[in-house]
Structure 1
């Protein structure tokens, strides 16, 4: 017969910390602030670093592609990441990521259209400037 037993926590993998020190778990940072009065759960800096790195790699791979291809490639990545972290305190992270996506898309447009002077008139950049969530971005 199958014997059921309680799993013993591994000493090297398990650490018990006070919430004032905070801990990272599944991409979330759980920590108390203001002397323990406020508990905030935020995306970890490692998670933000990973999404930025992934977005940069995707945009770099799409150099020379049209705007529709860029939108179709970036939208599921951004929406999925935003859906995962939407339930926690992530407004500042979303705004920073929005600015980062803008910078990436601007660089993409400058590389794709090197002879154009007015890049703000590119259809993809126009949607990002206007903050239309259905096109590209977090808003």
Structure 2
């Protein structure tokens, strides 16, 4: 009986949302604006949707009665991973201090945008990926730095340090 009542409420809510969508389109029309049929959709918050790099959804947090609301979308995480790959994969970096200088700006900007959501897992993934890309870049240098000296001089505690410039760590930002 309870599921039937919730379905009826959802149908009424959907009809109400569709009516509001039509009303919004009518308000925007005199201004010369229109809603895109391909981009505008009516979904329930439990299903979730992507908006400006955020995945907005209301899943229940495991082991609690709390709900989480928003996280970064998979496309946003994939785009920053591609940017890190592009920066750390270039061979035009002459010195080690150039690499963290370029990466830090990109990582800080992305993390500042997504710090307001439930993004700890994404920040951890991004930190691991950037660290692996930088160590890979170091290993592919013409000098061919061995792992032992790499950890001793450049990466104490998994932090890239060169001339006082540290590689940004997204996990600590959050």
Query: When the two structures are superposed, what TM-score results if normalisation uses the length of structure 2?
Result: 0.67
2: CA distance, partners of 1:61 / 1:131 = 17
Question: For the structure 1 residues 83 and 62, does the alpha-carbon distance in structure 2 shift closer, same or farther, using more than 3 Å as the test?
Answer: farther
RMSD (Å), alpha carbons: 2.5
The answer on whether the counterparts of 2:159 and 2:166 sit within 8 Å (CA) in structure 1 is no
- Which residue does 1:32 correspond to in 2? 58
User: What 5-or-longer segments of structure 1 have no aligned partner?
Assistant: none
Which one has the bigger helix percentage?
A: 2
Match 1:109 to one of 138, 148, 152: 138
Q: 1:89-127: per-residue Cα shift (whole Å, max 9, x none)?
A: 10111011111111111101111241534221232x22x
Matches within 5 A, 1:1-139: 5-6=30-31, 7-34=33-60, 38-62=67-91, 65-112=94-141, 113-118=143-148, 119-123=150-154, 125-126=155-156, 129-130=158-159, 135-137=166-168, 138=170, 139=172
Any conservation in 2 of the 1:63–1:108 contact (CA below 8 Å)? Answer: no
- Structure number, greater radius of gyration: 2
The total of aligned residue pairs comes to: 133
- Counterpart CA distance in 2 for 1:15 and 1:24 is 11
Q: Which runs of 5+ in 2 are unaligned?
A: 1-28
